[in-house]
Structure 1
Amino acid sequence: MHAIKRWADRILATTCIVLCGLLVVAVTWQVIGRFFFNASGAVSEELAKIMFVWAVLLGAALLFGEKGHMAIELGLDMMSARNQTIFQIIISLLILGFVTSILLIGGIDAVDRTMRQTNAAIPFIKTGQIYLALPLSGAFSVFYCVYNIWNDFKSLTGTGQGQTSKMEG
């Protein structure tokens, strides 16, 4: 499971880096077009929006996999390590339900409903292809959530001690 996580991390990180680089190019082209030619292309503006949305959603999934997401830990310090792990598993299960229903299932539904619509600025791109970032982000987030629950459960039962230090290093 650790190898799959490393593979998913590499895919998401590489994709986000490429998207950010292309986003810089598209926005730079927009600025040059506006400054020098008093006009900017609708295609580059729309591509910048699409790349930004994809980078945000896939970057959020990557951040979730690194447990770098925002967390309110009020009162968590007062719990024992065992109770903190149990609490983390419960929270991860709630997040799993949300991510599965909203991003994965809802995203698949959004893609299905909009796959026949074309984008106004870029007619060769379907709106459903743009929305494909939702279920992809959801699928990665579901995997990371299951991975985190599995690791927390292993540490709770004592079978995973020493595993996390190898992963972190």
Structure 2
Amino acid sequence: MNRITNTVDTILKTVVISVFAVLVVCVVWQVLSRYVLGTPSTFTDELARFMFIWIGLIGAAYTLGQRRHLAIDLLTGPLTGIKKRYSDYFIIAAILTFSLLIMVYGGSQLVMKTLITGQVSPALRVPMGYVYAAIPFSGVVMVYYSIEMLVGLIKGTGTGPNDQPIDHDDAQA
């Protein structure tokens, strides 16, 4: 599972960096065309908006895999032992449930309905289903990372959802 995770990490990292580079070029061109040439580019504005959606969702999935996502540990921070372990199980189950139901299932429904209706973007004429496909795609990646965290937690070899190493002696207390 470690080799698969490293491959997924590398692919996501490459995609995020590539999309971000194209996003920067689009925004720079948009500014130049608007203020230097006097004729704003409509397609780069829309393309930048769509890329921002993709980079935000894929970046969120990558961040979850790196255990660097936003975590409010006011209630779970002081926990130790078996309480901490159950808390980690609950957090991972909540992430997994949200990713499966909302992002994968709901996102797939949105993509399919949008593709069936034939909705396209105004400037690029791209089917909006392709833009919305970032939701189920990142959901699938989040499901994978959640399962990986859950397996690591069960085996006692991984980290919890907040990048805390599992203390076997403390978890048995």
Same fold (TM over 0.5): yes
How many angstroms does 1:64 deviate by? Answer: 0.5
- Counterpart for residue 71 of structure 2: 71
User: Which residue is 1:118 aligned to?
Assistant: 120
Structure 1: gaps (5+ residues): 165-169
What's the CA shift for 1:19?
Answer: 0.5
Aligned residues: 157
Return 82-91 or 72-81, whichever deviates more.
72-81
CA 1:150/1:50 → structure 2, altered by over 3 Å: closer, same or farther? same
Q: 2:15 maps to which residue?
A: 15
Partner deviation per Cα, 1:54-99 (whole Å, 9 max, x = no partner): 0000000000111111112124343223321221111110111111
Decide whether aligned partners of structure 1 residues 78 and 108 sit closer, same or farther in structure 2, where only a CA change above 3 A counts.
Answer: same
Provide closer, same or farther for how the CA distance between residues 42 and 83 of structure 1 changes in structure 2, counting only shifts above 3 A: same
- Residue 137 (structure 2) aligns with: 136
What TM-score comes out, normalization by structure 1 length?
A: 0.88
Distance apart, 1:31 and its partner CA? 0.6
Question: Which secondary structure state, in structure 1, belongs to the residue aligned with residue 14 of structure 2?
Answer: helix
Amino acid at match of 1:130: V
1:59 equivalenced with 2:67 (yes/no): no
**Shift, 1:120, TM fit:** 1.0
After TM superposition, where is structure 1 displaced by more than 6 Å over at least 4 residues in a row?
none
The aligned runs of 1:84-123 (5 Å cut-off) are 84-115=84-115, 116-123=118-125
